[in-house]
Amino acid sequence: MFFNLLLQRIPTRSILSRSINTSSVLNVHATPALFAEPLKKKKKIDPQIIKQREERKKKKIEKQIRRLEKNARQLKPIEELDIPIELIDEKSQRTRAITITPEVLEQRATLNKQWAAYKHKEKVADFQIIDRVLQFQMKALDELRKESEELYLEAVQPDSKLLPINITGPVSTPPIENYPSPDGEYVHLTKNWE
Protein backbone atom coordinates (compact mmCIF):
# COMPACT_ATOMS: atom_id res chain seq x y z
CA MET A 1 0.00 0.00 0.00
CA PHE A 2 2.73 2.44 0.99
CA PHE A 3 4.64 1.56 -2.16
CA ASN A 4 1.57 2.28 -4.32
CA LEU A 5 1.18 5.70 -2.71
CA LEU A 6 4.81 6.48 -3.47
CA LEU A 7 4.41 5.41 -7.07
CA GLN A 8 1.42 7.70 -7.44
CA ARG A 9 3.48 10.67 -6.28
CA ILE A 10 6.37 9.94 -8.66
CA PRO A 11 5.79 11.41 -12.07
CA THR A 12 5.43 8.78 -14.78
CA ARG A 13 7.90 10.52 -17.06
CA SER A 14 10.78 9.78 -14.72
CA ILE A 15 9.83 6.10 -14.49
CA LEU A 16 9.57 5.71 -18.23
CA SER A 17 12.73 7.61 -19.11
CA ARG A 18 15.47 5.57 -17.51
CA SER A 19 13.98 4.13 -14.37
CA ILE A 20 15.97 6.60 -12.33
CA ASN A 21 14.39 8.21 -9.33
CA THR A 22 14.72 11.99 -9.61
CA SER A 23 12.20 13.03 -6.98
CA SER A 24 13.06 13.93 -3.45
CA VAL A 25 10.26 11.77 -2.08
CA LEU A 26 12.25 8.55 -2.13
CA ASN A 27 15.54 8.88 -0.34
CA VAL A 28 16.51 5.33 -0.97
CA HIS A 29 19.85 4.72 -2.60
CA ALA A 30 21.00 1.42 -3.94
CA THR A 31 24.69 0.49 -3.87
CA PRO A 32 26.23 -1.77 -6.47
CA ALA A 33 26.49 -5.41 -5.58
CA LEU A 34 29.97 -6.27 -4.34
CA PHE A 35 30.57 -9.92 -5.02
CA ALA A 36 33.11 -10.45 -2.30
CA GLU A 37 34.36 -13.78 -1.18
CA PRO A 38 35.44 -14.71 2.28
CA LEU A 39 39.18 -14.57 2.78
CA LYS A 40 41.00 -17.79 2.12
CA LYS A 41 42.57 -19.45 5.05
CA LYS A 42 46.33 -19.18 5.12
CA LYS A 43 47.98 -22.49 4.68
CA LYS A 44 50.38 -23.37 7.38
CA ILE A 45 53.83 -23.66 5.89
CA ASP A 46 56.59 -25.63 7.44
CA PRO A 47 59.08 -23.29 9.21
CA GLN A 48 61.94 -25.19 7.54
CA ILE A 49 60.60 -24.24 4.07
CA ILE A 50 60.29 -20.58 5.11
CA LYS A 51 63.85 -20.66 6.40
CA GLN A 52 65.10 -22.18 3.12
CA ARG A 53 63.33 -19.46 1.09
CA GLU A 54 64.91 -16.74 3.22
CA GLU A 55 68.32 -18.36 2.79
CA ARG A 56 67.87 -18.42 -1.01
CA LYS A 57 66.93 -14.74 -1.04
CA LYS A 58 69.92 -13.93 1.16
CA LYS A 59 72.33 -15.87 -1.09
CA LYS A 60 70.91 -14.16 -4.19
CA ILE A 61 71.43 -10.71 -2.65
CA GLU A 62 74.97 -11.61 -1.54
CA LYS A 63 75.77 -12.80 -5.08
CA GLN A 64 74.53 -9.50 -6.51
CA ILE A 65 76.66 -7.59 -3.99
CA ARG A 66 79.77 -9.59 -4.97
CA ARG A 67 79.08 -8.91 -8.66
CA LEU A 68 78.71 -5.18 -7.97
CA GLU A 69 81.95 -5.15 -5.96
CA LYS A 70 83.80 -6.75 -8.88
CA ASN A 71 82.40 -4.17 -11.30
CA ALA A 72 83.15 -1.31 -8.90
CA ARG A 73 86.86 -1.64 -9.64
CA GLN A 74 86.24 -1.22 -13.37
CA LEU A 75 86.29 2.35 -14.63
CA LYS A 76 83.55 3.71 -16.80
CA PRO A 77 84.61 3.48 -20.46
CA ILE A 78 85.26 6.70 -22.36
CA GLU A 79 84.09 6.18 -25.91
CA GLU A 80 86.41 8.85 -27.33
CA LEU A 81 89.43 6.96 -25.99
CA ASP A 82 88.37 3.49 -27.12
CA ILE A 83 90.46 2.13 -29.99
CA PRO A 84 88.30 0.87 -32.85
CA ILE A 85 88.44 -2.90 -33.40
CA GLU A 86 89.46 -2.38 -37.04
CA LEU A 87 92.64 -0.63 -35.93
CA ILE A 88 93.45 -3.37 -33.43
CA ASP A 89 93.01 -5.95 -36.19
CA GLU A 90 95.23 -3.96 -38.57
CA LYS A 91 97.98 -3.39 -35.99
CA SER A 92 100.36 -5.88 -37.58
CA GLN A 93 99.91 -4.23 -40.99
CA ARG A 94 100.39 -0.73 -39.63
CA THR A 95 103.55 -1.27 -37.59
CA ARG A 96 106.81 -0.41 -39.32
CA ALA A 97 109.83 -2.62 -39.06
CA ILE A 98 112.49 -0.07 -38.12
CA THR A 99 115.62 -0.99 -36.24
CA ILE A 100 117.21 1.83 -34.28
CA THR A 101 120.88 1.52 -33.43
CA PRO A 102 122.10 2.16 -29.89
CA GLU A 103 124.08 5.22 -31.12
CA VAL A 104 120.88 6.85 -32.46
CA LEU A 105 119.06 6.08 -29.20
CA GLU A 106 121.88 7.67 -27.20
CA GLN A 107 121.91 10.72 -29.49
CA ARG A 108 118.14 11.15 -29.05
CA ALA A 109 118.44 10.89 -25.28
CA THR A 110 121.17 13.57 -25.16
CA LEU A 111 119.09 15.84 -27.43
CA ASN A 112 116.10 15.43 -25.09
CA LYS A 113 118.28 16.32 -22.09
CA GLN A 114 119.74 19.37 -23.85
CA TRP A 115 116.25 20.54 -24.89
CA ALA A 116 114.93 20.14 -21.33
CA ALA A 117 117.90 22.11 -19.93
CA TYR A 118 117.40 24.88 -22.54
CA LYS A 119 113.65 25.19 -21.75
CA HIS A 120 114.42 25.27 -18.01
CA LYS A 121 116.93 28.12 -18.46
CA GLU A 122 114.41 29.98 -20.63
CA LYS A 123 111.69 29.62 -17.97
CA VAL A 124 114.00 30.78 -15.17
CA ALA A 125 115.05 33.81 -17.26
CA ASP A 126 111.39 34.71 -17.87
CA PHE A 127 110.64 34.54 -14.15
CA GLN A 128 113.66 36.73 -13.39
CA ILE A 129 112.53 39.33 -15.94
CA ILE A 130 109.00 39.36 -14.47
CA ASP A 131 110.39 39.74 -10.93
CA ARG A 132 112.68 42.58 -12.04
CA VAL A 133 109.82 44.42 -13.80
CA LEU A 134 107.57 44.06 -10.73
CA GLN A 135 110.34 45.40 -8.47
CA PHE A 136 110.84 48.43 -10.74
CA GLN A 137 107.07 48.99 -10.88
CA MET A 138 106.72 48.89 -7.08
CA LYS A 139 109.71 51.22 -6.69
CA ALA A 140 108.21 53.67 -9.22
CA LEU A 141 104.84 53.60 -7.45
CA ASP A 142 106.49 54.26 -4.08
CA GLU A 143 108.35 57.27 -5.55
CA LEU A 144 105.10 58.52 -7.12
CA ARG A 145 103.32 58.21 -3.77
CA LYS A 146 106.01 60.31 -2.12
CA GLU A 147 105.53 63.02 -4.78
CA SER A 148 101.70 63.08 -4.98
CA GLU A 149 98.99 60.89 -3.44
CA GLU A 150 96.47 61.90 -6.15
CA LEU A 151 98.78 60.80 -8.97
CA TYR A 152 99.47 57.54 -7.16
CA LEU A 153 95.75 56.75 -6.75
CA GLU A 154 95.16 57.58 -10.41
CA ALA A 155 98.05 55.33 -11.49
CA VAL A 156 96.76 52.41 -9.40
CA GLN A 157 93.27 52.56 -10.99
CA PRO A 158 92.67 49.86 -13.68
CA ASP A 159 92.56 51.10 -17.26
CA SER A 160 88.96 50.66 -18.43
CA LYS A 161 90.02 50.99 -22.07
CA LEU A 162 92.04 47.76 -21.91
CA LEU A 163 89.40 45.44 -20.40
CA PRO A 164 86.34 45.62 -22.70
CA ILE A 165 87.92 44.33 -25.87
CA ASN A 166 85.49 44.11 -28.78
CA ILE A 167 87.05 42.79 -31.95
CA THR A 168 85.12 42.33 -35.15
CA GLY A 169 86.76 41.06 -38.28
CA PRO A 170 85.94 39.60 -41.63
CA VAL A 171 83.89 36.42 -41.58
CA SER A 172 84.02 33.60 -44.11
CA THR A 173 80.34 33.94 -45.10
CA PRO A 174 77.92 36.89 -45.02
CA PRO A 175 75.23 36.79 -42.31
CA ILE A 176 71.90 35.18 -43.17
CA GLU A 177 69.02 37.63 -42.81
CA ASN A 178 66.22 36.68 -40.37
CA TYR A 179 68.12 33.58 -39.25
CA PRO A 180 66.44 31.97 -36.19
CA SER A 181 69.44 31.23 -34.04
CA PRO A 182 69.29 27.98 -32.05
CA ASP A 183 68.49 28.46 -28.40
CA GLY A 184 71.21 26.25 -26.99
CA GLU A 185 69.42 22.99 -27.70
CA TYR A 186 71.48 19.84 -28.10
CA VAL A 187 70.98 16.11 -28.13
CA HIS A 188 72.35 14.52 -24.96
CA LEU A 189 74.24 11.37 -26.07
CA THR A 190 76.07 10.55 -22.84
CA LYS A 191 75.40 6.99 -21.75
CA ASN A 192 74.26 6.37 -18.20
CA TRP A 193 76.62 3.83 -16.54
CA GLU A 194 74.76 3.27 -13.30
pLDDT category at 16 given cuts 50, 70, 90 is: very low
75, part of any domain? no
Task: Kindly state the average pLDDT of the residues 166-186.
Answer: 77
What is the overall mean pLDDT for the chain?
81
Give how many domains the chain has, as a whole number: 1
Task: Kindly state the average pLDDT of the residues 109-138.
Answer: 97
107, part of any domain? yes
127: containing domain: 100-156
pLDDT category at 114 given cuts 50, 70, 90 is: very high
Query: Which tens digits make up the pLDDT trace of 74-84?
Result: 777 777 788 88
Could you tell me the pTM of the whole model? 0.35
Task: Kindly state the average pLDDT of the residues 30-49.
Answer: 78
Q: For the ranges 34-38, 89-93, 109-113, 154-158, which has the lowest average pLDDT? A: 34-38
What's the rounded Cα separation, in Å, for the pair 118 and 110? 12
191, part of any domain? no
Residues contacting residue 23 through CB under 8 Å, at least 6 positions apart? 9, 10, 11, 14
Amino acid residing at 162: L
23, part of any domain? no
116, part of any domain? yes
41, part of any domain? no
Q: Inform me whether the pLDDT recorded for 1 exceeds 70.
A: no
Residue 74 φ/ψ region, left for φ over 0, alpha for ψ in the -120 to 50 degree band, beta for the rest: beta
Q: For residue 24, which of 34, 33, 14 has the smallest C-alpha distance?
A: 14
